């Protein structure tokens, strides 16, 4: 198939989903062995902005996972022997195809997840493209260690060969669906593994579109497979399957810890990126021009980013002025139908909406003051949608549930501090350690604080500035392992030392 032909076919797949009428829900399928396979049963997928079903998705079973793993295992024998150049070329073709239809795919991501369409256009889909391109190209220039060993009998040369692991099980979350799925797929595939992925059943539409891209650009049958379904069925079978030797998971700490326990029984390689309760520390001399960035760090994507700031520690002398500025900034965020030009869309599901609402009620019950935010009613077809405005809470102790639990929504607690030593201890006091931000005009203050924080990433006077070559992951209950250009390629391969006696005569 020529590139022009497969572009037309890809466009047709996307357009059919965009044009799907509300009363005629398109049914998605699983993707096994390069075939789109109808599932044994289907379930509704809800548009968070309307609160109504808009598409049908598979309710994947253990049997379907077994079929996908069998296809991946079979083709691994040949796929692992392809060259890095061949794999890189295919991934770049996927990147090009996704990039060409960036805006159309963003429509689907917004409708399925609830995020503003403008955000999907400039963050989610471009980052998916970048993930495929950067991993495809980085793998071409990965260096292996080699060393000559001299001994009395002669010289030996040692070198390291990075072997693919086998079938990789990839479980991705609902908050950044295509963005985070591609962050797993790209390194797994370029390293020579075959994969079975399970996107969240809340947001599987763009993953299904992506499967078409893999097939159309020429990936061999069985290299990439996908089963859509619930974690307790499809996800659990993927974790338990004896022919899946590696699991990469992004999601809640509760589920991640169970995956780690189950995988340990078979000694599987596991990478876990889990929850966070990320602190932001604002010193008295912070740059007031950063107030918009500080607010953005709490509320982008409805606060449904694992790296969002949910606890803000503000030095006492500036607390009153900071609160006025911060609340004013929070109230600037426009909220509404994510298909329009708003900054805050809908919470991803009714269950999650109710969870976030519950924490706002807990804050009130514990004596907290709600300075702004709460449930928001949106009209024009979104009356039943799941909307919560940026919510700012003060007056809670560090031991409050709202200060310790991961809420994963547009809710931030602000509390005062006096000294650097005090705030570092308080910021580190949770069981999480994913990320943190520090805001100060004093470089020593920034670096001294950053160095003492127990977090996988600390941003100083900025937020969400991500460089793929840097390690990404969490400490404590926020995760195990690191992801990034170098770390991911190492995780998706096994290093093998080969030693050759140069003095031997043959």
C-alpha closest to that of 373 among 384, 381, 365, 359: 359
Indicate which residues carry an active-site annotation: 273
Cβ contact 314:283 at 8 Å = no
Residue 399: CB atoms within 10 A of its CB come to 9
Cβ contact 39:29 at 8 Å = yes
Q: What is the pLDDT of residue 287?
A: 97
C-alpha closest to that of 246 among 471, 494, 496: 494
Q: What is the pLDDT of residue 22?
A: 66
Residue-wise pLDDT tens digits, 169-194: 999 999 999 999 999 999 999 999 99
Tokens of 383: 């009356």
Query: Taking the CA atoms of the chain, what radius of gyration do you get in angstroms?
Result: 24
Residue-wise pLDDT tens digits, 206-217: 999 999 999 999
Pairing mode of beta strands 479-480, 493-501: unpaired
C-alpha closest to that of 326 among 371, 288, 290, 291: 291
Tokens of 108: 């689907």
Give DSSP secondary structure letters for 263-327: HHTTT-EEEEE----EEEEE-TT--GGGHHHHHHHHHGGGG-STT-EEEEEEEGGGHHHHHHHHH
Q: Kindly state the DSSP code that residue 120 receives in the 8-state scheme.
A: I
CA–CA dist 313, 282 (Å, integer): 6
Q: What is the pLDDT of residue 383?
A: 97
Cβ contact 375:388 at 8 Å = yes
In Å, what is the CA distance from 104 to each residue of 26, 98, 100, 116, 382?
A: 17, 10, 9, 13, 21
Token look-up 């379930």 returns 43
Cβ contact 393:366 at 8 Å = no
Tokens of 157: 């040369």
SS3 423: helix
Q: Is the pTM of this model over 0.75?
A: yes
SS3 103: helix
In Å, what is the CA distance from 308 to each residue of 5, 244, 249, 271, 300?
A: 41, 32, 19, 21, 8
Residue-wise pLDDT tens digits, 56-80: 999 999 999 999 999 999 999 999 9
CA–CA dist 100, 11 (Å, integer): 10
C-alpha closest to that of 213 among 123, 90, 108: 90
C-alpha closest to that of 228 among 170, 182, 275, 306: 170
SS3 of the chain: helix, strand, coil, percent, to 5:
40, 25, 35
CA–CA dist 231, 176 (Å, integer): 17
Tokens of 262: 């189950």
Residue ranges of the chain with per-residue pLDDT less than 50: none
Q: What is the pLDDT of residue 3?
A: 78
């Amino acid at each position: 198939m020529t590139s022009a032909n497969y572009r037309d076919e890809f466009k047709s797949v996307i357009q059919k989903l965009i044009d799907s009428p509300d009363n005629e829900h398109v049914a998605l399928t699983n993707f096994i062995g390069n075939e789109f396979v109808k599932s044994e049963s289907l379930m509704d997928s809800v548009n968070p902005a309307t609160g109504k079903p808009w598409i049908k998705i598979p309710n994947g079973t253990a049997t379907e996972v077994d079929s996908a793993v069998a296809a991946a295992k079979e083709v691994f024998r040949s796929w692992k022997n392809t060259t890095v150049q061949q794999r890189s070329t295919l991934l770049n073709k996927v990147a090009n195809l996704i990039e060409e239809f960036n805006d159309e795919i963003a429509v689907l991501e917004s409708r399925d997840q609830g995020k503003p369409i403008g955000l999907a256009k400039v963050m989610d889909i471009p980052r998916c493209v970048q993930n495929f391109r950067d991993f495809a190209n980085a793998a071409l220039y990965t260096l292996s260690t080699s060393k000559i060993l001299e001994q009395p009998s002669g010289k030996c040369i040692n070198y390291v060969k990075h072997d693919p692991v086998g079938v990789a099980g990839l479980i991705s979350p609902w908050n950044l669906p295509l963005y985070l799925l591609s962050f797993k797929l790209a390194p797994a595939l370029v390293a020579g593994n075959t994969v079975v992925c399970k996107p969240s059943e809340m947001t599987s539409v763009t993953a299904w579109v992506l499967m078409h891209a893999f097939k159309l650009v020429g990936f061999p049958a069985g290299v990439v497979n996908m089963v859509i379904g619930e974690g307790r069925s499809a996800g659990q079978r993927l974790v338990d399957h004896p022919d899946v030797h590696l699991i990469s998971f992004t999601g809640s700490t509760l589920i991640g810890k169970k995956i780690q326990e189950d995988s340990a029984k078979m000694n599987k390689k596991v990478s876990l990126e889990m929850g966070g309760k990320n602190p932001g520390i604002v010193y008295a001399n912070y740059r007031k021009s950063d107030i918009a960035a500080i607010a953005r760090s709490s509320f982008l994507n409805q606060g449904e980013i694992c790296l969002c700031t949910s606890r803000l520690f503000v030095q006492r002398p500036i607390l009153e002025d900071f609160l006025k500025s911060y609340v004013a900034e929070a109230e600037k965020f426009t909220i509404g139908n994510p298909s329009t030009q708003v900054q805050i869309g809908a919470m991803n599901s009714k269950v999650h909406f109710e969870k976030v609402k519950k924490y706002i009620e807990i804050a009130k019950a514990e004596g907290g003051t709600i300075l702004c935010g709460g449930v928001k009613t949106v009209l024009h077809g979104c009356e039943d949608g799941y909307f919560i405005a940026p919510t700012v809470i003060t007056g809670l102790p560090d031991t409050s549930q709202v200060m310790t639990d991961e809420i994963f929504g547009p809710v931030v607690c602000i509390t005062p501090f006096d000294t650097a030593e005090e705030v570092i201890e308080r910021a580190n006091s949770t069981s999480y350690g994913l990320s943190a931000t520090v805001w100060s005009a004093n470089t020593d203050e920034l670096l001294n604080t950053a160095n003492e924080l127990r977090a996988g990433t600390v941003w100083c006077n900025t937020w969400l500035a991500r460089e793929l070559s840097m390690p990404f992951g969490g400490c404590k209950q926020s995760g195990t392992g690191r992801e990034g250009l170098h770390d991911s390629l190492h995780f998706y391969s096994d290093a093998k030392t080969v030693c050759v006696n140069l003095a031997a005569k043959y």
